[in-house]
């Protein structure tokens, strides 16, 4: 029996200057991508800014959706059901990058490649959607038609297997997940006497 798990793609509009700049080019509502391993979005990974105040210091990050950066963010969250084996491959790939995160950097130059539709590949460098696409490809879940260095956030969920589970303010999603966790109906089992 193959056991299944879910992973989540989180697309966000954080409203930062860099996000607005990218949005002016893409004309897409969400211009940052992350991958998460739980519905509560506790384990969320991406390539992005390492400090909230400086977009030019970037690299591999474990994101905190409760941080100032995401406080007013709008988002679309997609789920994808995968096998336990695929899940383990994804998780291991990310943990290998995390263990050597000081060797990885944000691929700012690669963003110009997207702009001009010319792949710019750099060793140990990703921008957010390039990273998420590489995680999906490395685990053999999805193989994109275009070079990974050209994958934009809006390209990520374009598989019939992705399901949009939420769209709106990230804060509202957090509140709904917390509400569901607190209000899960319990099953009453009669006690035999």
Is 19 within a domain?
Answer: yes
- Domain count of the fold of the chain: 1
pLDDT in tens, 58-108: 899 999 999 888 888 999 999 999 999 999 999 999 999 999 999 999 999
- Cβ within 8 Å of residue 190, ≥6 positions away: none
- Residue-wise pLDDT for 167-189, tens only, equals 999 999 988 876 565 544 444 44
Whether 69 is covered by a domain: the verdict is: yes
CA–CA dist 151, 134 (Å, integer): 10
User: Is 89 inside any structural domain?
Assistant: yes
- Reported as a single tens digit per residue, the pLDDT across 15-67 is 877 778 888 888 899 999 999 999 999 999 999 988 777 777 889 999 999 98
**What is the distance between the alpha carbons of residues 35 and 56, in angstroms, rounded to a whole number?**
21
Contacting residues for 151 by C-beta, under 8 A, at least 6 apart: 129, 130, 132, 133, 144
* 37 within a domain of the structure (yes/no): yes
Which domain does 12 fall in, by range?
4-182
Query: Residue 77 maps to which CATH number?
Result: 3.90.1720.10
pTM: 0.88
Q: What is the mean pLDDT of the chain?
A: 87
**Residue 179 has what pLDDT?**
57
Residue 192 lies in a domain: no
């Amino acid at each position: 029996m193959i056991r299944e798990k879910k992973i989540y793609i989180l697309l966000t509009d954080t409203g930062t200057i860099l996000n607005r700049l990218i949005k002016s080019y893409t004309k897409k509502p969400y211009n940052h991508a992350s991958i998460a391993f739980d519905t509560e979005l506790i384990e969320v990974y991406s390539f992005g800014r390492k400090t909230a105040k400086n977009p030019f210091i970037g690299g591999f990050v474990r994101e905190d959706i409760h941080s100032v950066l995401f406080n007013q963010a709008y988002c679309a969250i997609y789920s994808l059901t995968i096998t336990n084996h695929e899940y383990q491959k994804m998780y291991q790939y990310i943990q290998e990058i995390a263990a050597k995160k000081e060797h990885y950097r944000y691929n700012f130059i690669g963003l110009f490649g997207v702009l001009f539709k010319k792949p710019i590949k750099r060793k140990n460098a990703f921008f957010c959607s390039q990273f998420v696409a590489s995680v999906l490809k490395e685990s053999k879940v999805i193989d994109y038609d275009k070079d990974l260095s050209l994958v934009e956030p809006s390209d990520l969920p374009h598989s019939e297997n992705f399901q949009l589970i939420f769209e709106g303010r990230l804060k509202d999603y957090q509140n709904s997940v917390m509400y569901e966790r607190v209000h899960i109906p319990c099953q009453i089992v009669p006690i035999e006497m």
